[in-house]
Amino acid sequence: MRYLALLLSLLMLMVVGCGDSDTDTPEATAETPSDSTGENPTSPESTNPGSGGTAASGKLAETTKPMLDDVAAFMQKRDYNSAIKTLNEVLRIDPECAEAHYKRAGILADIGQNTQALGAFNKAISLDPKNAMIRNTRGFFFLTRGMTGRALQDFDEAIKLNPKYVQAYNNRGLAMLSNGNTTAAIADFGVAVRFKPDYVDAYNNRGFANSKAGNHDQAIADFDKALKIDPNYTNAYVNRGTVHYQAEKFPKAIADFTEAIARDPRNVRYYQLRMQTYQKLTMTDEAKQDANQIVWLTKLQKLDNAVAAEPKNPTAHIQRAAHLIEGGDDKIALASFEAAIKADPQHGATYEQRAQYWFSKGEYDKCIADCDQALNVAPSIKAFSIRGDACLKKNDYSGAIASYTEAKRFDPNVAKAYFLRGQQLKSQGNIEAANKDFARAYDLDPTLKK
């Protein structure tokens, strides 16, 4: 029991809440521990509040509509500065445009300017008080910032304005969960799926609520339904795996955590869940493999943070690339090298490190090209050394010897280059030059005489 309590303190179930969108953008997702609702979901995308507000008309509408379309495009690119500037210009032209205030609120919420976001939501509602979507989205804003009471007021009002508003029922269910009212939460999620039978998030959330209420069979049924609707729904795999774990159905839990990992292989927590389940089954080797992956992913997260903190520091990108190569993620590693070059095209170490990568893959021409680039930027012993090894692999013995000489190397590889060039020269009839190379090779590595 003590071990189970320790694991349950780490197990995380997931519930999904949503703002609103007039596009097919994904709804915001929150990760939740088994005894609370989620924190820090992404804020809803900028959307059109629809009819009922103080819509611009005539020339104002002709002027502002293309600008609002531009805002949507900026939001797709996460270009918040351009979006805000454009919305400010819309509001200069039409200060009572509810849509502009609403879109501005969503952007401000996304970038963490909560006070300004709330002011913009309030203004949009004052201009369009009968718009259920704005009420729901502001409620979601409150919910994700821990203001459950105010969130419930908005969800209640949204449902009053639109009794078939499935997103509002779903979000109110989350708020009920936050208050510990699992019965009411299950009821709200049930209404949501009744109005929208393919509402995968509501099935997942009802499964969470059922598991919290101890209704494990109903929880499994809800997660099964969510996965039938969307077989790639990672949250439902993790949640179902957690319920299986709680029921001590460890093989089923491992299968679900494995499915989650396959869909989100960078998630440390999924490996932690599977590792501890392996431990319950005394599957030591498998648990150890997951433990190693947890260490690797944790380091990667630190390197990601370093890159985010200093995006123009090529060393941060290089360190990340080296770690990715160690983990076998070559494609993203190469992208990190490109990011390092973009950050500082004159940083020779970037080309050296990438040259080493190309050498390890047998891409000797690419290796030599990067060494040459490094040498053009800042000649170094390391670049000459790598270049020499690549030339030797390409049977360019003279090129190898020239690079080794610059690198001041005197090792078996250098001896091999002289020996092989000597053989080449001998076959060409240049005996004197061949004997000089043989003598140099034997001096560096006497074993070659055999």
Bridge partners of 32?
13
Q: How far apart are CA 107 and CA 43, in angstroms?
A: 8
* 284, 258 contact by CB (below 8 A): no
Q: How far apart are the first and last CA of the chain?
A: 69
CA distance 322 to 217: 46
List residues bridging with 445 in a β-sheet. Answer: none
Instruction: Tell me what pLDDT residue 7 has.
Output: 29
- Confidence label for 15 from pLDDT (cuts 50, 70 and 90): low
Question: Amino acid identity of 214?
Answer: G
Name 16's bridge partners.
29
Quick: pLDDT tens for 232-244.
Answer: 999 999 999 999 9
Q: Residue 63's pLDDT is what?
A: 79
The dihedral built from the CA positions of residue 231, 41, 180 and 173, taken in this order, carries a sign that is negative
pLDDT digits (tens, 9 = 90+) for 394-448: 999 999 999 999 999 999 999 999 999 999 999 999 999 999 999 999 999 999 9
Task: Name the residue type at position 107.
Answer: I
Contact criterion met (CB below 8 Å) for 256 and 240: yes
Whether the pLDDT of residue 134 is over 50: the answer is: yes
212 pLDDT higher than 90: yes
Q: Tell me the whole-structure pTM to 2 decimals.
A: 0.77
The 3-state DSSP class for residue 284 equals helix
25-34, 139-148, 274-283, 319-328, range with the lowest pLDDT: 25-34
Question: 16 pLDDT band (50/70/90 cuts)?
Answer: low
Residue 119 pLDDT: 96
What whole-number distance in Å separates Cα of residue 439 and Cα of residue 426? 13
| Dist. CA 265–CA 280, nearest whole Å | 22
DSSP 55: -
Which of 190, 229, 230, 194 is CA-nearest to residue 213?
A: 190
**What mean pLDDT do residues 188-193 have?**
97
- CB of 137 closer than 8 Å to CB of 106: yes
Cα 170 to Cα 203: distance, rounded to the nearest angstrom: 10
pLDDT, tens digit (0-9, with 9 covering 90-100), for 141-162: 999 999 999 999 999 999 999 9
| 16: helix, strand or coil | strand
Q: Taking the alpha carbons of 246, 252, 254, 260 in that order, is the dihedral positive or negative?
A: negative
Q: Is the dihedral of CA 219, 222, 227, 233 positive or negative?
A: negative
Residue whose structure tokens are 């795996």: 241
Query: Is the Cβ–Cβ distance between 28 and 19 less than 8 Å?
Result: yes
Query: Fold for domain 310-395?
Result: 1.25.40
According to the model, what pLDDT value does residue 207 have?
97
The tens digit of pLDDT for each residue in 274-302 reads 999 999 999 999 999 999 999 999 999 99
Q: What is the mean pLDDT of the chain?
A: 87
In this prediction, residues 240-253 reach a mean pLDDT of 97
Which residue type occupies 219?
A
Percent of residues, the chain, with pLDDT higher than 90: 80
Provide mean pLDDT across the span 364-392.
Answer: 97
Task: Please count the residues of the chain.
Answer: 450
Tokens at 117, concatenated: 């976001």
Domain boundaries, the chain: 310-395, 410-450
Predicted pLDDT at 78: 87
In tens, the pLDDT along 158-184 reads 999 999 999 999 999 999 999 999 999
